[in-house]
Amino acid sequence: MKKILYVATVVKTHIMEFHIPYLKMLKEEGWETAVAARNDYENPINCQIPYCDTYFDIHFERNPFHPKNAEAYKQLKKIIDSENYDIVHCHTPVGGVLARIASKDARKNGTKVIYTAHGFHFYDGAPLINWVLYYPIERLLAHYTDVLITINQEDYLRAQTFKVKKVYYIPGVGIDLEKFQPNSQARKTIRQELGFQESDFVILSVGELNKNKNQANVLKALASMKESESYSKTYYVLCGSGAWERKLKQMAVKLGINAHVRFLGYQTDTPKIYNASDLFVFMSFREGLPVALIEAMACGLPVLCSKIRGNKDLVLENVTGLFSENDPSTISLKLQDLYYRKDKRYLFAHNATFSIEKFSINLLKKHIYQIYKNAL
């Protein structure tokens, strides 16, 4: 029986969000599965990982330079050295760094180490400090990596210069296209539940509420529309939780737009929200390959987003959506254009659903399993 260990910084917001289909696939193929990650549930008893034979609660810290990660490394190395895994597949920056270092001795005994980069911290336009800190680390750790998986084209091209045995491009972690698809009935029902009229223009953002996801600029853009005819029918819905939740709510009140903003919190049934909306707005500063954007397009939503790595892999300008400069005034102009141009929105929506088929979870599971077989 083959044995595999998945390593990531946290369970709830990473393992549970992205890797359950892969653990299920491995169990069905007869593998023994294990997960090493921090239990980040508010109530620790809720940490139940499906298709996982053994769970190791390792207290990783998100900051790679946090002193507690030294103890996390010791725990992880002891596990890897004693369990004789065929594959250690690591994810997230901290998980990726510590697991590859901890697997150094195990590799001599045949363990293969795979790292999926969900978006390098160094990228075109990244702050200089990111390049100074993270680029040398990734080049060094490439020596302890058997397979490097990248999820966008920019990272894939850059990884070609690393001294790693094999580099693959896999378009993200995949989504269930049976779950995420257009649903006109859901649109009608959910709009009624949320109190929206059919004539309302509902714009949506899904993701953690933080500085990087940049919901703040969308709020400011909406505020700048207050004198326009379109404002009375425009509503902004945010799905997600995070460190900036209170700040964003206060901003909406201060800007005088709180009656046109809905904070729905963390949602487990996002397809219904996508289908109740008219436009997906995604103005992040940095992305690897955003799952929420893929999901929105699969549900037939036109897109307005920032022109950054990851987004550029998904959106075709004037085909499935529009790019915008990341400032409130430009975002506002684009929103108003799309408000009036229903024909453009319908065209983008139609094209989006067909452009997203290559991101099917069923297809990507086959790719990943083949990578495992090749590595062994």
- Would the pLDDT of 65 be above 90? no
Q: What is the mean pLDDT of residues 273-299?
A: 95
Structural tokens at position 358: 């290559």
- Would the pLDDT of 271 be above 90? yes
Q: What is the mean pLDDT of residues 46-55?
A: 97
> 219 CB contacts (<8 Å, ≥6 apart)?
236, 248, 251, 252, 255, 257, 261
> Mean pLDDT of all residues in the chain?
94
For position 62, what pLDDT does the model report?
A: 86
For position 184, what pLDDT does the model report?
A: 83
Q: What is the mean pLDDT of residues 12-41?
A: 96
For position 18, what pLDDT does the model report?
A: 93
First CA to last CA distance, the chain: 13
Question: Which of the residue ranges 71-80, 120-129, 251-260 would you say has the lowest mean pLDDT?
Answer: 120-129
Question: Which of the residue ranges 124-133, 185-194, 327-336 would you say has the lowest mean pLDDT?
Answer: 185-194
- Would the pLDDT of 187 be above 90? no
For position 234, what pLDDT does the model report?
A: 96
Q: Which of 76, 127, 129, 142 is nearest to 103 (CA)?
A: 76
Instruction: Output the CA torsion sign for 211, 214, 215, 219.
Output: positive
For position 7, what pLDDT does the model report?
A: 98
Q: What is the mean pLDDT of residues 198-204?
A: 95
Three-class SS of 153-182: HHHHHHHCCCCCCEEEECCCCCECCCCCCC
For position 185, what pLDDT does the model report?
A: 83
Number of neighbouring beta carbons within 10 Å of residue 18: 18
CA–CA gap between residue 58 and residue 40 (Å, rounded)? 10
Beta strands in 151-288 (DSSP E): 166-169, 201-206, 234-239, 261-265, 279-282
Number of neighbouring beta carbons within 10 Å of residue 123: 20
Q: What is the mean pLDDT of residues 74-100?
A: 96
Helix (H, G, I), strand (E, B) or coil at 49: coil
Q: What is the mean pLDDT of residues 240-246?
A: 93
Query: For a pLDDT cut of 90, what percent of the chain falls above it?
Result: 89
Instruction: Output the CA torsion sign for 321, 322, 323, 329.
Output: negative
Q: Which helix (H) or strand (E) holds 231?
A: none
Q: Which amino acid is at 97?
A: V
- Would the pLDDT of 357 be above 90? no
pTM over 0.75: yes
Contact 31, 2 (CB under 8 A): yes
Instruction: Quick: pLDDT tens for 247-261.
Output: 999 999 999 999 999
